[in-house]
Structure 1
Amino acid sequence: IGTFHTSCALPEGSATDMTEKDILNNGSFHVNHHNEDSRDNNVYDDETGNDVDTRIETNNGQLSKDVITDDIVRRKAFRWCQDSIGGAWLDLQSENKLKISPVGGGMSNYLYLVSLPDGMTPVRSEPTEVLLRIYGQISKSTLDFLVHNSVVFALLAERKLGPKPYGMYHDGRIEEFIQARPLLPEDLRKPEIMGMVAEKLAQFHALDMPLCKKPRWFKSLLRGWIKDIQNNLELNKSVFATLLKMAPSFDLETEFHELLADARRLNCPIVF
């Protein structure tokens, strides 16, 4: 079971009734990984479109230090783009000159479209807009995350299976912005589109990536989820009182071992 999640997208403004032939001929079917291995922590003001401070409450009601503010986003975007892209980005005198807007579709990463101000043109061939990704809580979950994430991202880009990287940092990166939209549920019900998704997924499964070939990810993932559930139930008993009353007979350990036994019986190959 691979640990790298992909999402599929159609070009901006595409009709959802495009045929498989239309999409392939136009080169307009993208597989991107703007949604990798995470959960959506982004909170935005619905009226203004501006990002609101994202805070995680602890069990005693206090705000944690995991806060992403507009100032933080601007500082990172300004510094990273100047350091890693150069060109016209170096001519910016202030971080406030950047055009920044939130991008939906992430899962635990904070995603933003960062653009040069109107009227500025590239000095060479540098991009005028990029995707800014600030890692969320998932980056703190394992020491291997940053290494594996960066290596996989770079290799997929080199093989033309993902966006081009422009700069990588311990708490995020800047990458090529692909003008596209995520597939909607009604798109996924169309056999011609799902056929393309299956073909792309097969391409990923066929890759030989420098990752662990032992079937340990599934076990580690489930064990982590069980631990999170147990910790949350213990720390937030009042919040989860209703859940505890509804499901007093949950035996997660037994189900965990049954799932592992089922997985072993399937004897599936380990793929990316």
Structure 2
Amino acid sequence: MSPSLFTDGITNKLMACYVDEGMADAILVRVYGRKTELFVDRESELKNFQVLRAHACAPKLYCTFQNGLCYEFMQGTALGPQHVREPQIFRLVAWEMAKIHAIHTNGSLPKPSLWHKLHKYLTIMKTELTTKASHPRLCHEVPSLEVLEQEVAWLKESLSQLGSPIVLCHNDLLCKNIIYNESEEHVRFIDYEYAGYNYQAFDIGNHFNEFAGVNEVDYSLYPSRDMQLQWLRHYLQAYKQLSRESQGGGAGVVSDKELETLYVQANQFALASHLLWAFWGLIQDQYSTIDFNFFRYARLRFKQYFKAKSMVTALEMPK
């Protein structure tokens, strides 16, 4: 059996094991990154993995162990920023996201995870980072904790009023977490560490942010209004169809008002995505042993947050 270490992950270490050179029989072994239990609920990850698998949205899960898990390798290409802009691909991404969002929970709908995560990360930053005398960069290169607490409070007050539905979300749909199978003409999402119930518009806005890439971040690649409206129309058509099918209905028509509403929601929730991953980057910078410049990444997300804030707050919901 041949092992192959994957290098694209920035949270965990991932290895593929296979006999067939084409990796048709490959299995993946993922070992959790150091201190990732600070911001990943492993019980919730496993539960969401199983739910997604039951709805044909995830690979087979073979086993779990103390600091990782083993699962089926999905055949296809991990996408990059150049791929997610292509209409034939982003239509598939929109459909797959709608498919996950249309999965219904049993019983009462859980609260969105966004605010819990932001406050949890803030608490970790207060207790684990600011007490370290060896972190002068935190004083000079990132906003103060007081400013960040004010931003989180402002986001919660503003975004909670937008009326975005609470749905099952991936919450981390960067390009490399999308596997495109060209021969079968579909995409699948991988890595469910951050999956859970959240605002529909957060999942979409977060994905739009990821058009900029991770290793070489370029926010000029953030999708234009026209591209977003195309993407959102495909998404809404799929979401309505899939939701109505589960309730015994048919396809739904997307109105201009619905489209514009989701456009405003997604772009405003994209702000929360920037802040969340900036916090995450600072925590990872403290603990991760993976070769990635987390501090630089956090600074870029903070910078883009404040730049985008002045633009998206001018967007108004349609009447």
Q: Quickly name the TM-score band, shorter chain normalised.
A: 0.5 to 0.7
- In the alignment, the residues of structure 1 paired with residue 42 and residue 129 of structure 2 have an alpha-carbon distance, to the nearest angstrom, of 29
Alignment-derived partner of residue 46 in structure 2: 150
Alignment-derived partner of residue 90 in structure 2: 194
Structure 1 residues 257 and 248, CA, compared in 2 at 3 Å: closer, same or farther?
A: closer
Question: For residues 108-257 of structure 1, what are the structure 2 equivalents within 5 Å?
Answer: 108-116=11-19, 128-137=25-34, 140-141=37-38, 145-209=41-105, 213-239=109-135, 241-246=136-141, 251-257=147-153
Q: Which has the higher helix share?
A: 2
- In the alignment, the residues of structure 2 paired with residue 232 and residue 163 of structure 1 have an alpha-carbon distance, to the nearest angstrom, of 36
Deviation (angstroms), 1:258: 0.5
Structure 1-normalised TM-score? 0.52
Structure 1 residues 155 and 204, CA, compared in 2 at 3 Å: closer, same or farther?
A: same
Structure 1 residues 100 and 235, CA, compared in 2 at 3 Å: closer, same or farther?
A: farther
Q: For residues 203-228 of structure 1, what are the alpha-carbon distances to aligned partners after superposition, in whole Å with 9 as ceiling and x for unaligned?
A: 11001246983334111111122223
Match of 1:162, SS state, is coil
Deviation (angstroms), 1:101: 1.2
Q: Is the 8 A contact 1:102 1:111 kept in 2?
A: yes
Alignment-derived partner of residue 7 in structure 2: 104
Deviation (angstroms), 1:246: 4.7
Taking only the aligned residue pairs, the percentage that are identical comes to: 25
- In the alignment, the residues of structure 2 paired with residue 247 and residue 107 of structure 1 have an alpha-carbon distance, to the nearest angstrom, of 21
Structure 2-normalised TM-score? 0.45
- In the alignment, the residues of structure 2 paired with residue 133 and residue 242 of structure 1 have an alpha-carbon distance, to the nearest angstrom, of 32
Q: For residues 129-164 of structure 1, what are the alpha-carbon distances to aligned partners after superposition, in whole Å with 9 as ceiling and x for unaligned?
A: 21111223465237x923222222123223221111
Structure 1 residues 267 and 130, CA, compared in 2 at 3 Å: closer, same or farther?
A: same
Deviation (angstroms), 1:251: 1.0
Structure 1 residues 215 and 101, CA, compared in 2 at 3 Å: closer, same or farther?
A: same
- In the alignment, the residues of structure 1 paired with residue 89 and residue 45 of structure 2 have an alpha-carbon distance, to the nearest angstrom, of 28
- Select the structure of larger CA radius of gyration: 1
Residue identity matched to 2:28: L
Q: Is the 8 A contact 1:101 1:112 kept in 2?
A: yes
Match of 1:114, SS state, is strand
Alignment-derived partner of residue 163 in structure 2: 267
Structure 1 residues 99 and 175, CA, compared in 2 at 3 Å: closer, same or farther?
A: same
Residue identity matched to 2:43: V
Residue identity matched to 1:135: Y
Deviation (angstroms), 1:242: 4.1
Q: Is the 8 A contact 2:11 2:36 kept in 1?
A: no
Q: For residues 19-59 of structure 1, what are the alpha-carbon distances to aligned partners after superposition, in whole Å with 9 as ceiling and x for unaligned?
A: xxxxxxxxxxxxxxxxxxxxxxxxxxxxxxxxxxxxxxxxx
Match of 1:268, SS state, is coil
Name structure 2 gaps, 5 residues minimum.
Answer: 169-319
- Higher mean alpha-carbon deviation, 192-201 vs 248-257, is at 248-257
Structure 1 residues 184 and 162, CA, compared in 2 at 3 Å: closer, same or farther?
A: same
Residue identity matched to 2:103: L
- In the alignment, the residues of structure 1 paired with residue 105 and residue 38 of structure 2 have an alpha-carbon distance, to the nearest angstrom, of 21
Match of 1:251, SS state, is helix
Structure 1 residues 217 and 137, CA, compared in 2 at 3 Å: closer, same or farther?
A: farther
- In the alignment, the residues of structure 1 paired with residue 20 and residue 64 of structure 2 have an alpha-carbon distance, to the nearest angstrom, of 23
- Higher mean alpha-carbon deviation, 108-117 vs 189-198, is at 108-117
Q: Is the 8 A contact 2:31 2:68 kept in 1?
A: yes
Q: CA RMSD in A?
A: 2.9
Alignment-derived partner of residue 260 in structure 2: none
Structure 1 residues 247 and 156, CA, compared in 2 at 3 Å: closer, same or farther?
A: closer
**How many pairs does the alignment contain?**
165
Deviation (angstroms), 1:232: 4.8
Q: Is the 8 A contact 1:139 1:146 kept in 2?
A: no
Q: Is the 8 A contact 1:105 1:182 kept in 2?
A: no
